[in-house]
């Protein structure tokens, strides 16, 4: 469950980029590593 939650920004970024908003999709996907780091300190669930 935790991996799925922390993987959501990458998925949302890809879907956003595919929808035509490339820069916005890249910005959303770039949040994925930050989310993984924060998940080590605070439970994502």
Written as six digits, the tokens of 45 are 């669930």
Going residue by residue through the chain, which has 45 residues, state the pLDDT in tens, using 9 for 90 and above: 777 888 888 889 999 999 998 899 988 888 888 888 888 888 877
DSSP string, 1-45: -HHHHHHHHHHHHHHHHHTT-HHHHHHHHTHHHHHHHHHHHS---
Task: Give the number of other CB atoms < 10 A from CB of residue 9.
Answer: 19
Q: Is the pTM of this model over 0.75?
A: no
CA distances in angstroms from 39 to 1, 2, 5, 27, 30, listed in the order given: 12, 8, 9, 19, 15
Written as six digits, the tokens of 44 are 């994502």
pLDDT of residue 15: 92
């Amino acid at each position: 469950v935790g991996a799925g939650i922390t993987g959501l920004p990458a998925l949302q970024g890809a879907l956003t980029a595919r929808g035509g908003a490339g820069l916005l999709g890249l910005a959303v996907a770039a949040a994925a590593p930050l989310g993984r780091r924060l998940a080590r300190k605070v439970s994502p669930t």
